Structure 1
């Protein structure tokens, strides 16, 4: 399947980078300090700005300080950060198709996690500091499209979390979900879904999606070619 587009707007954490062990350890330490139920906090934290999630649990007067504390706990660690399957290959083979990152992380977190995971970062990046509202608000995706000088409706947003999918849809983009952090049922609002980015390749005018079956068939075809062709 080919999805035509003028640009691709990538979420980062959970889509390109897996930092789940680091985030969970920091959140549990933070939650104990602030008397917050860690499991409840983590249940809807993924894909959202830290300040927005903290505001769900603490009074307005404590949000800024508590957010800084959680950000500091995450910033001191880099253990467990890895690139998700297919991320590096896709980003290094965009074939001239413009792209941007739109993340709920701040700039320091983005820099640390992409460096540790060896993720190439495009020139256009929108972080938590750049928008008045975080996902599911579409501000980040709309800003990225403006910076790339493309119509948001001509973009593909790649996301892994419900809040990000909602943001992408609200921007008018086509949303492609990757099933890297949530079960399929949680991603049903996306227009399309794939297991991970190994199923995605870029062309100058869009993205090509492959299914598990087509990938398996391609492997068989390559194997047959190496053996010199099928026997009759």
Structure 2
């Protein structure tokens, strides 16, 4: 088993696919969107992961006059649908180890959706949550990770970021943070990065004057 230890001042987490397994809801939502507009569901679903809803709608309905209404429809559906949402294995245990001042969630979901999904998974929100409502540019732009680090009184270079999708990994890389891939994504954005199957493979052993010692075990 490969192990490495990373020193970080703060830990930043994506939500969907990293802390919360919402795959059932996400698939239902975007396949229905694709059906409504005569699009290929698999293509839309692959592109939607890790991106803000409005951006995904715009990418697949370019120039549509009803894009805002369609985005609102999708968001409302996602907020009301929490069937099948569970925590990613190890999320509850890992978050319980972390000092409140040393971690944040950075998600492409809106604030209301983040609150609903974290609650449905039995996870508490940290004091710092950067959602799609807080940024001008979503992932793969690094704005969200830079803002979260700033709100925690640190820099992105002092952060370890846990992400499961290409857009988020690109955002983390661009911010200057140290990304860790959670799950099976193996595209170009993940090349050369440490990887864990889920959060059971991550522990924080103790605080030092430099921050958190994060141990990552590759299964």
Residues 28/211 of structure 1: CA separation in 2 closer, same or farther (3 Å cut): closer
How far is 1:187 from its partner? 5.4
From 209, 213, 216, the equivalent of 1:206 is 213
Question: CA 1:35–1:7 in structure 2 vs 1: closer, same or farther (change >3 Å)?
Answer: same
Q: Separation in 2 of the partners of 1:166 and 1:187?
A: 6
TM-score (norm 2): 0.90
Give the superposition deviation at 1:210: 2.1
For residue 72 of structure 1, the aligned residue among 73, 76, 90 is: 76
**Aligned-residue offset at 1:209:** 1.3
Equivalent residue in structure 2 for 1:173, among 177, 191, 204: 177
- Partner secondary structure for residue 125 of structure 2: coil
Alignment partner, residue 133 of structure 2: 129
Match of 1:48 in 2: 51
Alpha-carbon distance in structure 2 between the residues aligned to 1:83 and 1:166: 24
Q: Is the 8 A contact 1:97 1:206 kept in 2?
A: no
Asked which structure has the greater CA Rg, the reply is 1
1:178/1:196 contact within 8 Å kept: yes
Aligned to 1:98: 102
In structure 2, relative to structure 1, the CA distance for the partners of 1:97 and 1:76 (3 Å cut) is closer
Contact 1:135 1:164 in 2 (8 A): yes
Superposed CA deviations along residues 81-124 of structure 1, whole A, max 9, x for unmatched, are 00011001000111566000000001111111111100121100
Tell me if the contact between 1:160 and 1:187 (Cα under 8 Å) persists in the aligned partners. no
Normalized per residue, the structure richer in strand is 2
The alignment's TM-score, normalised by the length of structure 1, stands at: 0.85
RMSD: 1.6
Q: CA deviation at 1:154?
A: 0.9
Question: Which whole-Å CA distance do the structure 2 matches of 1:21 and 1:184 have between them?
Answer: 21
C-alpha separation between the residues in 1 aligned to 2:150 and 2:86? 30
Alpha-carbon distance in structure 2 between the residues aligned to 1:43 and 1:23: 11
2: distance between equivalents of 1:49 and 1:172?
A: 21
* CA distance 1:97–1:147, shift in 2 (3 Å): closer
Query: Which of 28, 32, 42 is 2:31 aligned to?
Result: 28
